[in-house]
Structure 1
């Protein structure tokens, strides 16, 4: 169901029995390779329409057909306004309640205010112009009582949600329609202000008129469709885009849910079958080795959960069947020490172990943590090293040429060791001749293809600090065993929501920051973006809207750090910045200054979301907390209270009461249990959002399947996919399914290149 732009991702119905990887003759022209579905939209709809749709990531016929309407409206039925949220592009159906045009107060020009309603909730529409004439046109069309479909991006003014300069389409009067037209639903698509839902619907209608069943290959095997009474993909596309009634639309979406689940489960089953054919070095524990010595020097006692999971990993590493395990636990559960003990077992067996982190900041944190925990056990070849010592190496893009050469030479020697690095470890020039174990931290930052490439013929442990409900873990990580660290020992962290509009409360935020620093603590301040950027609005309206919008712009690192430096209450404090556009050296320097106490307040983006471990950090201020997901908020909160002192998290938000964004922040403040928050996130958002982009390495989001509501579909898909892979592991006779899985893998490769 996802976008396919890497190669012609469609096959004719006659291709079903051909091998998925069969060689095809090289076309003389690019257009010779186009199928009906892979044709560029420009060739079908024209350049102007194609350019508009490209802004939604829709480039081919298949892309457009796979842009499925997420809901339908009945003519005469109003879509509820209570779920719209600031910053979202929305399409709503509502009645005009009132409209009023007046001159602007502080500059030349006029403003038209329109109020629409669904019968329970109101929403304001705002139109600006230098002259009355264009606004008079809108005022005439949007007279009270008119029903229309409105599309635009939700913003906020004086605590009320509004749409500024929305696109709209007046709905036909019911008196002008026959009975069949009245009953026919109106599809509502995810859209933008400049490409409203009804434009997409018209474009899809043009495409559907050119299709025949043979143009649409079906990834679902015929016997599976028959067993579950599912319509073909061709029929489902017609039913979901042009439904005759709501039942037909729902039946089509059910079919797509089966397809999404089946393709995902087939990919996982195929991957598991491939792993089962491999072998990894057997790494049985050594009673007198470095692992035993490490346990003896630990200054604390391992928790019952850490010991239990450690025993499971120990037993799995002891044989030659490749381990494929997901280790998850809440913030502070101790995943790092569990992974390190497993790595030491592999070193004891004479093999190399590597840990891959998504960012240099996190890689350096892991390296510093491991070398500190190992002490003389990590100093092989150095004066004062323990007799069982190994060496620990760091491999990131910021190493000097000489440092990189030395590290690469040691890795190529195959000597038992531990290496911590970023995706630089995926490079073709990296040689690890005795690799026995790969640990991938923050799995969602890497696609499955990348981590499997590195862990070929080696044991693999993937870790996530984002707690994942069991149902999701079983669905998305179906090729992995799941180990859970279910207890933790942490200082208490309290969380308070701070309304951004309340100047007195905001002043207290920065006063509290001063108090934390004066008490020996450090302060994180997180912003959703690096620098101020304008939203995508009409350029000639931006200046006119400035004096009308009273809500502060979304916080950014550059603006806020400058402002904090000017606050008298923070006078004399060092205020640093950290964000993704800084060079590796600049990031390292900023973090080092914060750790050393040269700066006491660090204004950052979410680059510090995971892994950063600074025991002195006691206060986390999250600006525009409503802009973040629950799991992200939880990870940010986990950066404080890691030492002896309790932590405090202040979630600053301007989200209006009753909105989904406000509910999310309230849920975050209500509990510090990461697994409870993950369950809440499933209820509030899609599974893909909960997991984060590329969490599964397969889909950035599950669009049709709900792991909460569709457990039966998932189980049927898993069973059917496993049976199919058992009989046709290479999908030689199921070409359309093979292509769907290949597209997943292609997107994984793209993700790595963009990371």
Structure 2
């Protein structure tokens, strides 16, 4: 089975045995297609309706059209008064039905590929222009051109580079083969597939290969019962695997695509479900809730009541921890919805049972923030820093009279800590003296051992790969597996959660704790303003910062880069955003240059700090603490403050070059303000072109604070090309056929069927064909959920 999902069933017949040698060589070299199953797994990315062969009459705008004839004109021009400028190539063809024109936008290479007197075949959609029939960006084939290049493929080869084969000759050979078998000529078929191709191997080549190979495919075994096919409106599997390539009608094509999509979704759901069953067949350290323990004491001392959502989620996690088999749960929550206190209460339950917990964070800044946050929540229920609950080292900690247990000992483990501090922390972990350890990737090193790890908590799970999370779960030496709780403040659209996290239980926090203030978000669009108005807006931004500071607030100013000389700095510079001013020329906009400018000009009267990922850890911690404690008024930063930073007095966030951030990032950054008793304001500063997709993203963030709504909007704007990870993002990957945006209904229905199948028949004894299809992947973590 290939990584493109075995759509046609396993058939390892080499293509070299069934295709002309030249064609088999091209497919292997350029597209890595070696076997029959790999070839037929290459689902077309589009289809061209063959249309009317003689479109002299009855053609309307938007109708499919196909024509052929002799080229008698090739010209091009640039659009005027339009930005960006568009270069258009016109190819005029004399056909039996009259003059036809193929129009190509921004495809200048066409002018070099199509010559006067060439014979050309065109397939596309009709566009009526001034009473004449044209075809915009069609698929085409030049009969006299050895390349067989079409408008769907890349630019031509470099001058002097030899072409080893002719697409026309290959198509002619393929046609001779299929016609000789009594089948319909390829180019006479009503709907032609368009395949992912390369510069040297065209869609015509792949189409020729499929036409030859498809009849050689053994009958594809049916995986579903007739009852299930009828219930979910599914065509037979064998018919669909064939019709997906050469459908006889649009109705058959739609049915085939639905079945193939359903099979892909069902396969993923079953793989994840089997992975979950396999996990739950193991052993885990049970940690039942204990009355009168630290967890109960913390609940009684919180200065606020948990929201109903927090109570519900905590009950779900508590139930997981009581189980004697491993559980995995994803906790997703809105920015500021209270995930930290929920995870701490869960860890306290494990500590009450005499076990240890590990909290894995992606950065040292976030790990340090977590340690401070846990100590702040626990207060006197936490042992002093450097003290543990035993007497091996540090201060001895006596049991708390109210709980009857020793205060919880916490430790921080990061890559930058001193050798002595690291040695002490590792000793505390292996002896069981440390109850909760907070750390970065340093926790995953082989030298880190635990006495009795009961729960692994992974924050910002998308920053870690599957292998990294598994490393943490493998820290027990007795063969048992600790429970795992992964958290994210980046809301995950429902269909993505189903397709990527189906082996985990999911809990969601949407309700914000009482007292959280509203944050008004505004897009400051400098690009649409003249320099004078730009300058006034910039002055107003800094006036607002002064006003907030004078009122007791604090401000974040975020920029996307550290160094203005960063080669990634492809958009504008500081002067573009801040306009002309007296003094030396302003450098490019990076946080270091931005900081230097602000402390000497616009914010010279305020206390301004700087933090970014390349600063030493102690400097970052000192600056973050100073800002949190009120010793700084303004913090200039990169996205290191994106998550985990809790400064209740922060009321204003200015994000420079906001169009360089994704919707989720902007939502996370905005979540750093309005966490106290004062409302906040977030300013998204940008020079992006009005009406662009980038501006649409910014407006989406400004229009709503609902992270789940924004995540769906982000998915719609961004697409799902990386949903399934790098290994699924190629030309023939799963996301070529299944869209988590457009196919939500299919994904949901497949999930329903998967759950029923595994509930009734977890060994798939009555689903032999289905079991064979997914068996190879049942043990593989091929879905990259980073």
The reply to whether TM is greater than 0.5 is yes
Aligned counterparts of 1:703 and 1:528: Cα–Cα separation in 2 = 35
Deviates more, 1:210-219 or 1:341-350: 210-219
SS of match in other structure, 1:501? helix
How far has the Cα of 1:488 moved from its partner?
A: 0.9
1:159-201 deviations in Å (ceiling 9; x for gaps): xxxx9x99599xx9xxxxx99958744656678xxx57x9652
Aligned counterparts of 1:685 and 1:240: Cα–Cα separation in 2 = 27
Aligned counterparts of 2:15 and 2:627: Cα–Cα separation in 1 = 53
Which residue in 1 is equivalent to 2:518? 492
| 1:562 matched to 2:599 | no
Do 2:757 and 2:764's aligned partners in 1 also have CA atoms closer than 8 Å? no
Do 1:224 and 1:720's aligned partners in 2 also have CA atoms closer than 8 Å? no
Aligned counterparts of 2:501 and 2:341: Cα–Cα separation in 1 = 23
| 1:482 matched to 2:506 | yes
Which residue in 2 is equivalent to 1:437? 455
Do 1:626 and 1:661's aligned partners in 2 also have CA atoms closer than 8 Å? yes
Cα-Cα RMSD: 5.5
Do 2:409 and 2:436's aligned partners in 1 also have CA atoms closer than 8 Å? yes
How far has the Cα of 1:396 moved from its partner?
A: 2.6
Deviates more, 1:608-617 or 1:590-599: 590-599
Which residue in 1 is equivalent to 2:210? 208
How far has the Cα of 1:340 moved from its partner?
A: 0.2
| 1:576 matched to 2:594 | no
| 1:712 matched to 2:749 | yes
| Within-5 A mapping of 1:356-395 | 356-379=360-383, 380-381=387-388, 383=395, 387=399, 388-395=406-413
Which residue in 1 is equivalent to 2:484? 460
Deviates more, 1:293-302 or 1:559-568: 559-568
How far has the Cα of 1:334 moved from its partner?
A: 0.5
Aligned counterparts of 1:292 and 1:667: Cα–Cα separation in 2 = 42
Structure showing greater Rg: 2
How far has the Cα of 1:684 moved from its partner?
A: 4.7
Which residue in 2 is equivalent to 1:426? 444
Which residue in 2 is equivalent to 1:399? 417
| Within-5 A mapping of 1:288-687 | 288-379=292-383, 380-381=387-388, 383=395, 387=399, 388-415=406-433, 417-448=435-466, 450-452=468-470, 454-455=472-473, 457-468=481-492, 473-474=497-498, 476-489=500-513, 490-503=516-529, 504-505=533-534, 508-509=537-538, 511-513=540-542, 515-516=544-545, 518-519=549-550, 520-527=553-560, 559=590, 561-562=592-593, 565-566=596-597, 568-571=601-604, 574=608, 576=610, 578-579=612-613, 591=624, 600-604=634-638, 606-653=639-686, 660-681=693-714, 684=717, 686=719
Which residue in 2 is equivalent to 1:262? 266
| Within-5 A mapping of 1:210-289 | 211=213, 221=223, 223=225, 227=229, 239-289=243-293
1:317-362 deviations in Å (ceiling 9; x for gaps): 3343444322222111101001101101111110011112233332
Which residue in 1 is equivalent to 2:137? 149
1:568-600 deviations in Å (ceiling 9; x for gaps): 434566463525x77767765775676575683
1:30-74 deviations in Å (ceiling 9; x for gaps): xxxx974999xxx987999988769xxx99997886564444454
1:210-232 deviations in Å (ceiling 9; x for gaps): 74688799798365898468678
TM-score, normalised to structure 1's length?
A: 0.69
Do 1:631 and 1:678's aligned partners in 2 also have CA atoms closer than 8 Å? yes
SS of match in other structure, 2:666? helix
Which residue in 1 is equivalent to 2:148? none
How far has the Cα of 1:150 moved from its partner?
A: 8.3
Do 1:294 and 1:374's aligned partners in 2 also have CA atoms closer than 8 Å? yes
Aligned counterparts of 1:345 and 1:306: Cα–Cα separation in 2 = 15
Deviates more, 1:226-235 or 1:564-573: 226-235
1:396-452 deviations in Å (ceiling 9; x for gaps): 333333333322222222346001123433344432231111222223333455435
How far has the Cα of 1:367 moved from its partner?
A: 1.7
**1:737 and 1:225, CA in 2 relative to 1: closer, same or farther beyond 3 A?**
farther
Do 1:11 and 1:217's aligned partners in 2 also have CA atoms closer than 8 Å? no
Which residue in 2 is equivalent to 1:737? 774
Do 1:37 and 1:62's aligned partners in 2 also have CA atoms closer than 8 Å? no
Aligned counterparts of 1:78 and 1:424: Cα–Cα separation in 2 = 63
Do 2:186 and 2:211's aligned partners in 1 also have CA atoms closer than 8 Å? no
Can you give the 5+ residue segments of structure 2 that lack an aligned partner in the other structure?
52-59, 64-73, 91-102, 121-128, 140-150, 158-167, 169-183, 389-393, 400-405, 474-479, 579-586
| Within-5 A mapping of 1:192-207 | 201-202=203-204, 204-205=206-207
Aligned counterparts of 2:16 and 2:482: Cα–Cα separation in 1 = 38
Can you give the 5+ residue segments of structure 1 that lack an aligned partner in the other structure?
16-33, 81-95, 103-110, 117-121, 152-162, 173-177, 537-541
SS of match in other structure, 2:410? strand
**1:350 and 1:492, CA in 2 relative to 1: closer, same or farther beyond 3 A?**
same
| 1:99 matched to 2:77 | yes
**1:101 and 1:482, CA in 2 relative to 1: closer, same or farther beyond 3 A?**
closer
SS of match in other structure, 1:569? coil
Do 2:326 and 2:481's aligned partners in 1 also have CA atoms closer than 8 Å? yes
Paired residues in the alignment total 647
**1:441 and 1:732, CA in 2 relative to 1: closer, same or farther beyond 3 A?**
farther
Do 1:353 and 1:417's aligned partners in 2 also have CA atoms closer than 8 Å? yes
Do 2:244 and 2:257's aligned partners in 1 also have CA atoms closer than 8 Å? yes
SS of match in other structure, 1:462? strand
SS of match in other structure, 2:263? helix
Which residue in 2 is equivalent to 1:108? none
Aligned counterparts of 2:675 and 2:203: Cα–Cα separation in 1 = 52
SS of match in other structure, 2:490? coil
How far has the Cα of 1:718 moved from its partner?
A: 3.7
Greater relative contact order (Cα 8 A, min sep 6): structure 1 or 2?
Answer: 1
Which residue in 1 is equivalent to 2:98? none
SS of match in other structure, 2:673? coil
Do 2:104 and 2:137's aligned partners in 1 also have CA atoms closer than 8 Å? no
How far has the Cα of 1:115 moved from its partner?
A: 8.9
Aligned counterparts of 1:213 and 1:53: Cα–Cα separation in 2 = 21
Aligned counterparts of 1:635 and 1:714: Cα–Cα separation in 2 = 30
How far has the Cα of 1:294 moved from its partner?
A: 2.6
Do 2:369 and 2:644's aligned partners in 1 also have CA atoms closer than 8 Å? yes
SS of match in other structure, 2:763? helix
**1:499 and 1:694, CA in 2 relative to 1: closer, same or farther beyond 3 A?**
farther
SS of match in other structure, 2:710? helix
SS of match in other structure, 1:327? strand
